[in-house]
Structure 1
Amino acid sequence: MKSAIDSLLRWVIIAIFTVLVACVTWQVLSRYVLGTPSTLTDEIARFLFMWLALIGGAYTFGARRHLAIDLLTSTLSGRRKLASEAAILLVVASFAAVVMIWGGYSLVSRTLASGQVTPALRISMGWIYGAIPFAGAVILYYCALFFAEVARGRMPVVESDSDLPIE
């Protein structure tokens, strides 16, 4: 199941990045070559970048390749290391559940109810903010998987570059 979600997230990230590059390229061409900047691609790029950052962060967390300060945990071993990992996962899961999912859902709901729309595209800002609870749910899923590994007495595996498929 994890590999299917990883693959899906990879493809979503690739698609978002591809559209983002196309939007920014068109924005530069329309501004400096045509002399009339495109307001649509500017807004699309801004919102896609937000989705890319949040989904990319969740994917990176799932691959255990996120930035971490492991000065303390690298000196631990055995049960102490597992306990440290469990505590870290509980903090991350709490943040994902409370701030990203609950707070993000609240933000999305309020924004959808208010009818706030984007200036150029005229789409609801609630859809834009939907990246927050979505990424929080993905992070919470990965936390559950990693916590299950810790409960079995094993440290979650860090994916190396050779573990990542070339698609």
Structure 2
Amino acid sequence: MNARSKLLTSARLVNKSLLSIETFILSLITISLVACIFVEVVCRYLLFISVAWAEELTRYLFIWLTYIGSAYAIYDGSHTEIDIFQQVIIKSKIKDKDRALNILEILAIVSTFLFLVAFGKIFFSYMMKIFQMAQASPTMHIPMSLVYLPVFVGVVLGAVHEVCLLLEHTVFRQAD
């Protein structure tokens, strides 16, 4: 096995491991969300009391679910996409449509990666200010840094998945 094959195998293993961890975390968050909502419904409609902590925890869990799920969806290809350029290429008279579509896909991956890096850099600066304030949530007194953390985690995971997608569309295709 040469160095290139080892690199490709390692990249696939890292990405597969990240996807497994994300799936586990998403499952755990979903179960926790259902439990919190169940507690809120029971307390509100059967006991006629409002449980503020359940509402707040549900909100924060949903934020985590959104950003970790967004990173997962990047690799899975589940995000909404605008495919007008793909349609133009497919309906055009270009001779090598597969190559043109592959180049378009690579451009999309690179542009999304660059956006994630730029956004991550900007958001990291913002998050450092939040960490310095040491502000806590109103009901549960959770540090607000934990509320904003999933945005950055999702951006980093999304960028890693974009790198893996880029490898799949360039290096992996040549190796397979």
**Shorter-chain-normalised TM-score: which range?**
0.7 to 0.9
Which residue is equivalent to 2:32?
A: 19
- Normalized per residue, which structure has more helix? 2
Query: How far 1:153 sits from its partner (Å)?
Result: 7.6
Residue type matched to 1:91 in 2? S
1:82 and 1:153 in contact (8 A); partners too? no
* TM-score normalised by length of structure 2: 0.81
Counterpart among 134, 137, 140 of residue 159 in structure 2 = 140
1:104 and 1:129 in contact (8 A); partners too? no
Say which is worse superposed, 18-27 or 1-10, in terms of deviation. Answer: 1-10
Residue type matched to 1:64 in 2? G
Would you say how many aligned residue pairs link Structure 1 and Structure 2?
154
1:35 aligns with 2:48: yes
Counterpart among 88, 94, 98 of residue 78 in structure 1 = 98
Distance in 1 (CA, whole Å) between partners of 2:43 and 2:143 is 26
* TM-score normalised by length of structure 1: 0.85
1:114 aligns with 2:127: no
Distance in 2 (CA, whole Å) between partners of 1:122 and 1:63 is 35
Which residue is equivalent to 1:96?
A: 116
1:107 and 1:129 in contact (8 A); partners too? no
Unaligned regions of 5+ residues in structure 2, if any?
A: 1-12, 91-96
* 1:91-149 deviation digits (Å, cap 9, x = unpaired): 211121111x2122222211111122100111211111000110011111111111112
Residue type matched to 2:108 in 1? I
Distance in 1 (CA, whole Å) between partners of 2:149 and 2:45 is 33
Which residue is equivalent to 1:164?
A: none
Residue type matched to 2:54 in 1? T
Distance in 2 (CA, whole Å) between partners of 1:107 and 1:121 is 23
Residue type matched to 2:101 in 1? K
Unaligned regions of 5+ residues in structure 1, if any?
A: 156-167
Query: How far 1:4 sits from its partner (Å)?
Result: 1.5
Query: How far 1:80 sits from its partner (Å)?
Result: 1.5
1:9 aligns with 2:29: no
Residue type matched to 1:73 in 2? Q
1:58 and 1:136 in contact (8 A); partners too? yes
Say which is worse superposed, 79-88 or 124-133, in terms of deviation. Answer: 79-88
Which residue is equivalent to 2:5?
A: none
* 1:14-59 deviation digits (Å, cap 9, x = unpaired): 0001001110111111111111111111100000001101111111
CA RMSD of aligned residues (A): 1.7
